[in-house]
């Protein structure tokens, strides 16, 4: 297959598409509970440090490969490898990315289903007047009900797959254009409201006053994995989007803009959520349920709480939707390369992801005590290993490909910077980002 001639219509459209992929459950659901489980500010500092030292340079690497190849990830890798006289086996990196996003999407869709449930519940006013204990008990009862969870998981996947099959994600991006600023606004309101609560001071200290003794090998690994996850990095998903990047756009500038937008969402969500945690005397390390328990409590204090809460879950769902479309794209592209039609490829992937997601659904009821590795049930496993191990490994290989393997002239052109800027990026990737990933992964293994 040859180069694609399609392009995002404007620079803003490209930035929005990548922001749509980046901003999702990772910022609003995963970031707060990971911070809660990993010692608060220590985790936050490490995560931001990884976004700067790894996230930015490797994101440029991933997108520039797509931009230089102008093909699906596997084909771009093979084409650029050949051009540089290297082995076209580099294409298998695209398949590895496909496997990674497969597992990520399988639990992503289940948690997105929780948001559907909460959207409907809040629109019906079901949270009005509930005590914090009752909100918590509600969430536990929901998790213990595999039928309701299955229904929502199925519905979310159908929504995602129908957009992917129709290839109309452009329309969704336009919607996103409007909704993303609204999501910011709502989070901002929540964060401002948080300043008036009793727990605000404790939340700020928890988030921004690092306790160095909280840093362990696992905390470092989790922070690195989360930096990749939140930026949608390391699975060739952004590579797929890079193929449509306009010629004249500055890649470094776009990447910095996306990273700033992405981290801001996480910080706002963190401030809002931890203020509730500390106002209510809850446990910050409560785990994946944290957002679903704290936000209904917070909104209940605001006038018109049920309405705000439903708007919030609607916006969260839309942000999640754009991320899950990005998660699906590399898998569909891979099957299309293998000769399947787009509709068929999407159906096959949808069915497989659905089945894998069912193992996560059941991890809260019938399979809660089925341990796959150590003490981890399926949901524990699938929410950690692909993110903490597969994404960094994929990201390191992507970085090696961009900064060592492919033609450095082509790379410079696709990065769209002058010789000095290119050398800076190249040295950062070669001597900082790649060694850093390798050191963190190896030191965690032993």
Binding residues vs ligand PHE (CB under 6 A): 21-22, 24-27, 101, 104, 229-230, 232, 235, 237, 323, 326-327
- Which of 48, 16, 23, 4 lies closest to 269, judged by CA? 23
Give whichever of 323 and 426 is closer to ligand PHE, judged by the CB atom.
323
Q: Which is nearer to ligand PHE, 96 or 278 (CB)?
A: 96
- Least distance in angstroms from the C-beta of 235 to ligand PHE: 5
Query: Any bridge partners for residue 373, and if so which?
Result: 376
DSSP assignment of 349-418: HHHHHHHHHHHHHHTTTTTTT--SBTTB-HHHHHHHHIIIIIHHHHHHHHHHIIIIIS-HHHHHHHHT--
Residue 104 beta carbon to ligand PHE: minimum distance, rounded to whole angstroms = 6
Q: Contact, 443 vs 217, CB < 8 A?
A: yes
CB 80, min distance to ligand PHE, A: 21
Is the Cβ of residue 28 or residue 84 nearer to ligand PHE in the bound state?
Answer: 28
Instruction: Report DSSP state, residue 236.
Output: S
Q: Which is nearer to ligand PHE, 25 or 362 (CB)?
A: 25
Cβ closest to ligand PHE, residue 24 vs residue 305? 24
Residue 363 CB, nearest distance to ligand PHE (Å)?
A: 20
Task: Please state, in angstroms and rounded to a whole number, the distance separating the CA atoms of residues 311 and 119.
Answer: 8
Residue 200 DSSP SS3 = helix
Check if the beta carbon of residue 253 is closer than 8 Å to that of residue 416. no
- Tell me the residue length of the chain: 446
C-beta nearest to ligand PHE: residue: 26
Q: DSSP secondary structure string, 281-339? A: T--TT--TTHHHHHHHHHHHTSTTHHHHHHHHHHHHHHHHHHHHHHHHHHHHHHHHHTT
Three-class secondary structure of residue 228 per DSSP:
helix
**Minimum Å distance from CB 246 to ligand PHE?**
21
CB nearer to ligand PHE: pick between 21 and 317: 21
- What's the min distance (Å) between Cβ of 29 and ligand PHE? 8
Task: Quickly list DSSP for 7-46.
Answer: --SSHHHHHHHHHHHHSSHIIIIIHHHHHHHTTTHHHHHH
What is the C-alpha separation between 181 and 160, in angstroms, rounded? 22
Count of CB atoms situated within 10 Å of the CB of 438: 14
The backbone region for 427, taken as left when phi is positive above 0, alpha when psi lies in -120 to 50, beta otherwise, is: alpha
Report the alpha-carbon distance of residue 268 to residue 263 in Å, rounded: 9
CB 195 within 8 Å of CB 354: no
Minimal distance in Å, beta carbon 15 to ligand PHE? Answer: 15
Q: 125-136 burial by CB neighbour count: b if 16+ within 10 A, else e?
A: ebbeeeebeebb
Q: CA-to-CA distance for 259 and 248, rounded, in angstroms?
A: 20
Dist CA 219 CA 136 (whole Å): 27
Whose Cβ is closer to ligand PHE: residue 23's or residue 77's? Answer: 23
* Smaller CB separation from ligand PHE, 28 or 311: 28
Q: Shortest Cβ distance from residue 50 to ligand PHE (Å)?
A: 14
State in angstroms the smallest separation of the CB of 22 from ligand PHE: 5
Whichever of 160 and 410 has its CB closer to ligand PHE, that residue is 160
Q: How far apart are CA 361 and CA 376, in angstroms?
A: 14
* CB 346, min distance to ligand PHE, A: 17
Of 249 and 322, the one with the shorter C-beta distance to ligand PHE is 322
Which residue lies nearer to ligand PHE by CB, 227 or 277?
227
Q: How far is the CB of 134 from ligand PHE (least distance, A)?
A: 29
Using the minimum distance from each CB to ligand PHE, give the nearer residue, 123 or 352.
Answer: 352
Min separation Cβ 174 and ligand PHE, Å: 20
């Amino acid at each position: 297959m040859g180069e694609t001639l399609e392009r995002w219509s404007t620079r803003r459209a490209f930035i929005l598409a990548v922001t749509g992929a980046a901003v999702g459950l990772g910022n609003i659901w995963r970031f707060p509970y990971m911070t809660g489980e990993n010692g608060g500010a220590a985790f936050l500092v490490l995560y931001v440090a990884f976004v700067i030292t790894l996230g930015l340079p490797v994101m440029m690497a991933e997108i520039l490969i797509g931009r230089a190849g102008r093909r699906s990830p596997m084909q771009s890798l093979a084409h650029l490898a050949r051009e540089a006289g290297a082995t076209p086996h580099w294409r298998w990196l695209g398949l590895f990315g496909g496997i990674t996003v497969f597992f990520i999407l399988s639990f992503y869709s289940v948690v997105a289903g929780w948001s559907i449930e909460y959207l409907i519940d809040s629109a019906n006013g079901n949270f009005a007047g509930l005590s914090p204990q009752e909100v918590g008990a509600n969430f536990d009862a929901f998790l213990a009900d595999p039928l309701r969870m299955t229904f929502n998981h199925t519905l979310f996947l159908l929504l995602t797959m129908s957009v992917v099959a129709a290839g109309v994600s452009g329309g969704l991006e336009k919607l996103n254009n409007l909704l993303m600023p609204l999501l910011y606004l709502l989070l901002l309101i929540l964060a401002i409201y948080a300043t008036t609560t009793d727990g605000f001071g404790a939340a700020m200290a928890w988030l921004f006053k690092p306790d160095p003794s909280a840093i362990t090998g696992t905390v470092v690994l989790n922070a690195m994995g989360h930096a990749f996850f939140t930026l949608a990095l390391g699975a060739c998903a952004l590579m797929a989007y890079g193929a449509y990047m306009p010629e004249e756009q500055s890649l470094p500038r776009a990447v910095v803009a996306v990273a700033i937008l992405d981290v801001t969402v996480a910080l706002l969500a963190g401030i809002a959520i931890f203020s509730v945690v500390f106002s209510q005397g809850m446990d910050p390390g409560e785990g994946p349920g944290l957002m679903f328990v704290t936000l209904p409590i917070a909104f209940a204090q605001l006038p018109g709480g049920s309405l705000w809460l439903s708007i919030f879950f609607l916006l969260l769902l839309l942000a999640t939707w754009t991320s899950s479309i990005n998660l699906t794209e590399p898998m569909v592209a891979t099957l299309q390369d293998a000769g399947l039609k787009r509709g068929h490829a999407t159906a096959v992937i949808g069915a497989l992801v659905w089945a894998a997601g069912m193992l996560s659904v059941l991890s809260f009821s019938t399979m809660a005590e089925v341990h796959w590795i150590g003490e981890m049930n399926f949901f524990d496993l699938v929410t950690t290993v692909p993110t903490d191990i597969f994404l960094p490994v994929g990201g390191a290989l992507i970085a090696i490909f961009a900064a060592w393997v492919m033609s450095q002239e082509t790379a410079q052109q696709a990065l769209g910077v002058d010789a000095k800027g290119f050398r800076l990026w190249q040295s950062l990737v070669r001597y900082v980002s790649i060694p850093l990933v390798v050191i963190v992964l190896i030191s965690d293994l032993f």
